């Protein structure tokens, strides 16, 4: 039986400011660092071996994983993948969420933020925020770099990576830890739990609270649970 541990990075500085972050490469806040350390302690209580770990190109996820591995006293090399990056929020990047909601109306705001296939307007090609993207992005094929994304677009990069890279290791009985982002993890959970296009808007991934998914030898999900019950969110299965 293999285990997949999904952890959304701890609170970032822009999370704390309630801003759309997307691909901007911001740091963890002090609270986020504490959340990452708590994640590590919760995982340590499972008393299982972590065989492989993955994260995105964004330093808030990388730092979360680094803190978790340090808390677990693991010095393993981890794998970075741009496919696990947060969803690109296009022209919404950097904007305050409450101010944006007031400006465009709650209905349009919900469509941009939670719908399956609605993307925000494109980010301008000369946007100042492009300078604040991860330097690791230089390794992404130019034709793969978006100027905006819906959750569907995010799914279309996350799932092929999962199928090609992660799935084979689960089949080999490896326990895998992923430190990523709210929307890249929502995309993965949609796939794993077979959540419908209309129900996925209800799925919320809390920061700094590891989700454990246990598979049998045929990679069918046997059990799933958050490690911090007090901050757990509902998982929608096969809806």
111-169 per-position pLDDT tens digit? 999 999 999 999 999 999 999 999 999 999 989 999 999 999 999 999 999 999 999 99
**Residue 126: inside a domain:** yes
Per the structure, the complete domain to which residue 142 belongs is given by: 2-231
**Residue 239: inside a domain:** no
Which spans in the chain are helix H? 13-16, 30-44, 59-71, 97-104, 106-114, 151-161, 167-171, 182-192
Q: CATH number, domain at 196?
A: 3.40.50.1240
**Residue 127: inside a domain:** yes
Query: What's the total number of domains in the chain?
Result: 1
| Closest to 28 in 3D by CA, of 57, 64, 54 | 64
86 is catalytic: yes
For range 18-23, the mean pLDDT:
97
**Residue 46: inside a domain:** yes
**Residue 15: inside a domain:** yes
Tokens read off for 195: 């959540």
The span from the CA of 149 to the CA of 3, in Å, is 30
Q: Which of 35, 63, 83, 86 is catalytic?
A: 86
Pairing outcome for strands 176-180 and 52-55: parallel
181 is catalytic: no
**Residue 238: inside a domain:** no
pTM of the shown model = 0.95
**Residue 226: inside a domain:** yes
């Amino acid at each position: 039986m293999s285990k997949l541990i999904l952890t959304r990075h701890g609170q970032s500085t822009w999370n704390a400011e309630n801003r759309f972050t997307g691909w901007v490469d911001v740091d963890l806040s002090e609270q986020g660092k504490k959340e990452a350390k708590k994640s590590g302690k919760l995982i340590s209580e499972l008393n299982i071996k972590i065989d492989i770990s993955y994260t995105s190109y964004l330093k808030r996820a990388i730092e979360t994983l680094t803190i978790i591995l340090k808390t677990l006293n693991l010095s393993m090399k981890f794998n970075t993948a741009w496919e696990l990056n947060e969803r690109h929020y296009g022209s919404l990047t950097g904007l305050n969420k409450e101010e944006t909601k007031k400006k465009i109306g709650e209905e349009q705001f919900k469509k941009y933020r939670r719908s399956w296939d609605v993307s925000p307007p494109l980010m301008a090609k000369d946007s100042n925020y492009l300078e604040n993207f991860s330097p690791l992005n230089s390794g992404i094929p130019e034709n793969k770099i978006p100027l905006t994304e819906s959750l569907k677009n995010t799914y279309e990069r996350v799932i092929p990576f999962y199928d090609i890279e992660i799935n084979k290791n689960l089949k080999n009985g490896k326990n895998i830890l992923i430190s990523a982002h709210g929307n890249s993890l929502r995309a993965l959970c949609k796939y794993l739990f077979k959540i419908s296009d209309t129900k996925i808007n209800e799925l919320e991934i809390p920061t700094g609270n590891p989700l454990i998914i246990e598979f049998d030898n045929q990679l069918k999900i046997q059990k799933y649970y958050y490690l911090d019950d007090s901050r757990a969110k509902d998982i929608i299965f096969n809806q």
